[in-house]
Chains A and B, each alone.
Chain A
């Protein structure tokens, strides 16, 4: 009994170390992006509250689908510990960089730390999957569920979209592109996704271009995944206020531009998660 306790304590402490590592590794680009700091104090508060809530639900979802299969209580525990690690890393790093200083209003401090805590928490919970190899058959079966695959594609999409949405370049690139550029970008995004996902779903099949397999993957994963990526791009752009006062054409262009890295993130998620 005591030996079991020893080993389980060790693995919890190691998990916590992985959390901190993952939180820093996945979020340091955003911690050092000035647009993120500014959004911390000027972004709409109700949108930020919604974003924090959805991020928390996402962390729980990732905890459920990744790592060892455990009771629901432990999955929630893991998710909460990852969030605690995320907030701590965000607070420490922002203080270290002087982005959060004493004398700033509570609204500014809470806004900056909680916004940066989102990528930190997601990084923390993802670290368990990517830094740890131990996995049971039950866990693998959980991820075989179609809904799980789409959810994890969404996580990948949001993660990459989030890295780029705070900056102005998405809207700027949208201005420089013509409608033909936009169509070409959609085609390129779909082709890249199809290529990535086909290679993942292949599983030893010799012919990737067999019509039923190719189109099966296309309709079940690529189109759905791209739609999810586009919808999440639209949501993230709206959250950061990049679409306020924008005409429909500007909105569509910015969404398609952000949809490109989001699509890559969704496809990469099928590879890594």
Chain B
């Protein structure tokens, strides 16, 4: 028992510091999760797609985009579709699927086209998702 008490006194000050850090991390993450559970945003996914750049590549053109989820829930399997229009006529469509777009986050991707998107009207939108 005496030896054990000695050990408590011998524990170096930096060990107590690390222990306090550990306590702060554990308590902090639990508190943050509880806060998110109670007061966090749990609205459905709200995805907008923005064009970052349009580049010519060897086999056509690449439209780089960002899909931004402003909603409070994660969207899985988000289908992004891009359509090239000339007035009401649709010239070409391309699509891709993004695995996950978490809440309040964005993911990047690209769509390939044969015609030059800069010569026509380019419309990008998210078509659908599933709940994880």
Which residues of B are at the interface with A, using a C-beta cutoff of 8 A? 4-8, 10-12, 15-16, 18-23, 25-26, 29-30, 32-34, 36-38, 40, 74, 76, 100, 102-105, 132
Among the stretches A41-49, A188-196, A253-261, the one at the interface with B is A41-49
CB-based nearest B residue for A90:
B25
A52 pairs with B8, CB closer than 8 A: no
The 6 A-B pairs at the shortest CB distance, nearest first, are namely: A84-B22, A80-B22, A45-B37, A46-B37, A80-B19, A8-B10
Contact B26 A52 (CB under 8 A): yes
Q: Are B102 and A108 neighbours in the complex by a CB distance under 8 Å?
A: yes
Can you list, as one digit per residue, whether each of A130-168 has a CB less than 8 Å from chain B (1) or not (0)?
000000000000000000000000000000000000000
**What is the 8 Å Cβ interface bit string for chain A, positions 75-92, against chain B (1 contact, 0 not)?**
011011111110100000
Min Cβ gap A221→B in Å is: 31
| A–B pairs, 30, beta carbons within 8 Å | A4-B6, A38-B132, A41-B100, A41-B105, A46-B34, A46-B37, A46-B38, A48-B33, A49-B30, A49-B34, A49-B37, A52-B29, A71-B4, A74-B4, A77-B19, A80-B20, A82-B22, A83-B26, A84-B19, A84-B21, A84-B22, A84-B25, A85-B22, A87-B22, A108-B103, A110-B29, A114-B29, A117-B25, A117-B29, A241-B132
Q: Is the CB–CB distance between B26 and A56 below 8 Å?
A: yes
CA of A241 to CA of B74, assembled, Å:
14
Bound: A111/B28 CA distance, A? 12
Report the Cα distance A45→B32, complex, angstroms.
9
The A interface is mostly helix, strand or loop, or mixed, namely helix
The chain B residue sitting closest to A38, CB to CB, is B100
* CA–CA, A74 and B3, complex, Å: 12
Q: Shortest Cβ distance from B39 into chain A, in angstroms?
A: 10
